[in-house]
Structure 1
Amino acid sequence: MINSLQNQGTQKGAAEIPRLAMINDIAGFGRCSTTVSLPVISAMEVQVCPVPTSILSNHLGFPLCHFDDYTPHMREYLRPWQEMGITFDGLYCGFLGSAEQFAIVEEFLDTFQPELFLLDPVMGDHGKPYSTITREHCLRMKSLMGRADILTPNITEACLLTDTPCRESGWTDYELLSLCERLSKLCPGKIVITGLTKASLFMNYIWENNSHSAYLAPAAGSSRPGTGDLFASILAADALHHRDFYASVKKAADFVALCIQGSERANIPVREGVIFEKYLGELIRQNQSK
């Protein structure tokens, strides 16, 4: 009887909404990582099960921050899920801070065997790697990419992963195609490179089934924390609903642009991210119309 109660509700029927595990940090203030992804993915009718890599009072763009590394507890956190037989349709992996966390992600994939693995290789921005990124980190990320179904690097991360000199602008179509081809040798799945600009537009460069395309959205303001999390979250939810990849990139890019534009109008400080809460209703309407 006890075992029956322990396992009740852990298995999913085919008619239920998809279930997504999310390995990422939690920042209490600043609208980024899990605090952005959880409500957005939930609004798109996907169950989100967070696995924290670290817990922060706020993201590192603020002058003060409390940081708690959750690595020592991650395996203990995941053990009950395994013992209860909980299953997952997908895994979304964001920021990883250590070699041990890479190993834990590999173990999760081996143990739970989700059908979808979306990897957001958080490593840098604005042409520079983050201060914590080492050569070992890059090598571990390249290895993990080999298991990804969807990869969402920004242009800086795409350069770091292919040993390409970083720059933020001036990319030709030929150079971006070459970059995608090099990434595809490391990642067999779908790829979208974000963080590109063309004239007054944001550009997303897409690689799928050995062909490329691009989607341009209005550049409605300055880059803000959490927009990459927002973008990847929409792709993850749509993928679990088996929606077209290009259409998902378009939806995500347009929604990010809408949130940036609204945040600029409302004079939200850049380091506080985007007021996506105001526009979740629009995302819900789009999801229900499909």
Structure 2
Amino acid sequence: MTEQRHILLVNDLPGVGKVATAAMEPVLSHMGFSVALLPTALVSNTLDFGTFEILDTCEYMKKTADVWKKLDFRFDAICIGFINSPEQIGIIRELIENQRETLRFVIADTIMADEGKLYNGMTGKNVESMREMIRYADVITPNLTEALLLAGEDPEQYDSLSHREIGCVMRKLREFGARSVILTSCHVPSEDRYFVYGYDAGSRSVFRVPYELKGTRCPGTGDIFSAVLTGGLMNGKTLEDSTREAVRFMSGMFEYLGDREPGYMGFPIEAYLAELR
């Protein structure tokens, strides 16, 4: 019998909507992993509705991490998403340090901004906290806006960078301590195409994967991308191959949606899991 592999999701837990842990857990479970959750916040519903309630879980995270340390729970990978407060960074850092004996990967999605600006409620302190977090991750997956903020650059130029300039952003992130880097939502105006860019620290190789931008907006897209990427890495694929599989899956997901609008609920991921390789 194959030994069970355990992945910890450190992300928010929504009551309604397929985002964050609610979107990632079905993907990773379908891929054969045992999934544990450490919620960074309890969220009533996806934020796209405009009205929501968020309960910070910082104290719960501290106590849970202490209990898990006593029980010697071990994880093969930790996948980090939304961080509700800068104080949670220290909790996550200590958790990673305590798990280093068994950890194969730490993947961090630096959720804080998009389309040239920070999300509502996010400040410069969040950027500083995320900049600290990337030093503890093996792979980071910011979108280009988040990458520019982390690199200390103007995020409003997210839609106007050249291929060379995007490469410079990746190098700056590595100067801040990032190892492998995946940049999503990269529009290159000179080619009028969208790409996911990547740098693999293991092979020291740079790659990019083209994709078509679909008009349909779907909450939780980044969470599903991170889950497929994490599953690929855990299954022994290279970072580039894992990225290509995540892009393929996401592209097919939007093809499956067609003209149907998922609204604010997120993608009905269970209906599409059979397409995972």
Could you tell me which residue of structure 2 aligns to residue 175 of structure 1? 165
Distance in 2, Cα, partners of 1:174 & 1:249: 20
Superposed, which structure 2 residues align to 1:104-143 within 5 Å?
A: 104-113=91-100, 114-143=103-132
For the aligned residues, what is the CA RMSD? 1.8
- Asked whether the equivalents of residues 24 and 33 of structure 1 are also in contact (C-alpha less than 8 Å), the reply is yes
Superposed, which structure 2 residues align to 1:42-191 within 5 Å?
A: 42-113=29-100, 114-166=103-155, 167-191=157-181
Q: Is 1:261 matched with 2:255?
A: yes
Distance in 2, Cα, partners of 1:123 & 1:170: 20
What is the identity, as a one-letter code, of the residue corresponding to 1:259?
M
Distance in 2, Cα, partners of 1:168 & 1:260: 23
Deviations 1:202-233 (A, max 9, x none): 31011123332110123233332100001111
Could you tell me which residue of structure 2 aligns to residue 205 of structure 1? 197
Unaligned runs of 5+ in 2: none
Q: Number of matched residues?
A: 270
Distance in 1, Cα, partners of 2:22 & 2:165: 35
Distance in 2, Cα, partners of 1:173 & 1:63: 35
Distance in 2, Cα, partners of 1:187 & 1:257: 31
Provide the TM-score with structure 2 as the length reference: 0.91
- Asked whether the equivalents of residues 259 and 275 of structure 1 are also in contact (C-alpha less than 8 Å), the reply is no
What is the SS of the residue equivalent to 2:106?
A: strand
Deviations 1:11-33 (A, max 9, x none): xx9x4132111111011222110
After TM superposition, give the deviation of residue 142 of structure 1 in Å.
1.3
Deviations 1:93-127 (A, max 9, x none): 11112121111101101222223111111111111
Distance in 2, Cα, partners of 1:137 & 1:186: 16
What is the identity, as a one-letter code, of the residue corresponding to 1:189?
R
- Asked whether the equivalents of residues 153 and 194 of structure 1 are also in contact (C-alpha less than 8 Å), the reply is yes
Unaligned runs of 5+ in 1: 1-12
| The 10-residue stretch of structure 1 (206-215 or 36-45) with the greater mean CA deviation from structure 2 | 206-215
What is the identity, as a one-letter code, of the residue corresponding to 1:229?
D
Deviations 1:190-212 (A, max 9, x none): 11100123567531011123332
Moved over 4 A (4+): 198-201
Superposed, which structure 2 residues align to 1:196-275 within 5 Å?
A: 196-198=186-188, 201-209=193-201, 210-269=204-263, 271-275=264-268
Larger Rg: 1
What is the identity, as a one-letter code, of the residue corresponding to 1:121?
T
After TM superposition, give the deviation of residue 188 of structure 1 in Å.
4.1
What is the identity, as a one-letter code, of the residue corresponding to 1:40?
V
What is the identity, as a one-letter code, of the residue corresponding to 1:41?
L
Distance in 2, Cα, partners of 1:218 & 1:276: 20
Distance in 2, Cα, partners of 1:264 & 1:57: 28
What is the identity, as a one-letter code, of the residue corresponding to 1:164?
E
What is the identity, as a one-letter code, of the residue corresponding to 1:39?
P
What is the identity, as a one-letter code, of the residue corresponding to 2:184?
T
